Chains A and B, each alone.
Chain A
Amino acid sequence: MPLYILKRFIMMIVTVLIIATLTFVLMRAIPGSPFDEERTSNPTIQANLEKFYKLDQPMPIQYLNYLKSIVTFDYGPSIKKPNESVNTLLARGFPISFELGMATIIVAVISGIILGTFAALRHNGIIDYGAMTFAVVGISIPNFVLATLLIQQVAVNWHLLPPATWSSPKHMILPIIALATGPTAIIARLTRASMLEVLTQDYIKMARAKGLSPFRIVARHALRNALMPVVTIMGTMLAGILTGTFVIEKIFAIPGMGKYFVESINNRDYPVIMGSTVFYSAFLVFMLFLVDIVYGFLDPRIKLHKKEGEV
Chain B
Amino acid sequence: MDVIGQQLANASRLENAPAIKEHQPGSGIATEENRKQKKTISQEIMLSVRDLEVSFKTFGGEVQAIRGVSFDLYKGETLAVVGESGCGKSVTANTIMGLIPQPPGRIRNGEVLFKNRDLTKLNKKALREIQGVDISMIFQDPMTALNPTLKIGEQLMEGLRTHHKVSRAEAKRKAVEMLNLVGISNPEERLKQYPHQFSGGMRQRIVIAIALICEPELLIADEPTTALDVTIQAQILELFDEIQRKTGVGIILITHDLGVVAKIADRIAVMYAGKIIEIGNKREIFYDPQHPYTQGLLNSVPRLDLQEEELKPIEGTPPDLFAPPEGCPFAARCPFAMEVCERVYPATTELTTQHTVDCWLQDPRAKAVLS
A contacts, CB < 8 Å to B: 201-203, 205-213, 216, 220-221, 224-225, 298-301
Contact = CB atoms under 8 A, between A and B. Distances in A.
Contact of B149 (A207, A208, A213, A298): A298
Interface string B129-170: 111110011011100111111100000001100110000000
A210 B158 contact: yes
A300 B159 contact: no
Contact of B128 (A201, A205, A212, A299): A212
Contacts of B140: 202
B144 A209 contact: no
Contact of A211 (B129, B145, B207): B129
Contacts of B176: none
A220 B149 CA distance: 10
Contact of B147 (A203, A208, A211, A213): A203
B322 interface: no
Given A202-B144, A211-B128, A300 B136 contact: no
B144 A201 contact: yes
A300 B130 contact: no
Contact of B148 (A207, A209, A301): A301
A283 B20 CA distance: 78
B159 A210 contact: yes
Interface residues of B, number: 30
Contact of A225 (B141, B147, B158, B211): B147
B148 A205 contact: no
A300 B147 contact: no
B145 A221 contact: no
Contact of B139 (A206, A299, A300): A206
B149 A211 contact: no
Contact of B132 (A202, A210, A299, A301): A210
Interface of B: 97, 99, 127-133, 136-137, 139-141, 144-150, 158-159, 162-163, 194, 196, 207, 210-211
A210 B149 contact: no
10 contacts: A202-B145, A203-B145, A209-B131, A209-B132, A209-B136, A210-B131, A210-B158, A211-B127, A211-B128, A300-B196
Contacts of B158: 210, 212, 220
A203 B146 contact: yes
Contacts of B147: 203, 206-207, 221, 225
A298 B163 CA distance: 27
A86 to B, nearest CB: 44
A220 B144 contact: no
Q: By CB atoms of chain B within 10 A, which of A205, A211, A212, A216 has the most?
A: A211
A207 B137 CA distance: 10
Contacts of B99: 205, 208-209
A247 B296 CA distance: 74
A209 B194 contact: no
Contact of B194 (A212, A216, A221, A301): A301
A224 B210 CA distance: 21
Given A206-B145, A210-B162, A220 B131 contact: no
Contact of A221 (B127, B144, B150, B196): B150
Given A211-B132, A211-B163, A301-B196, A206 B146 contact: yes
A68 to B, nearest CB: 47
Given A211-B162, A301-B196, A206 B150 contact: no
Contacts of B211: 209
A221 B155 CA distance: 10
A206 B207 contact: yes
Contacts of A225: 147-149
Nearest to A208: B99
A224 B162 contact: no
Contacts of A220: 150, 158
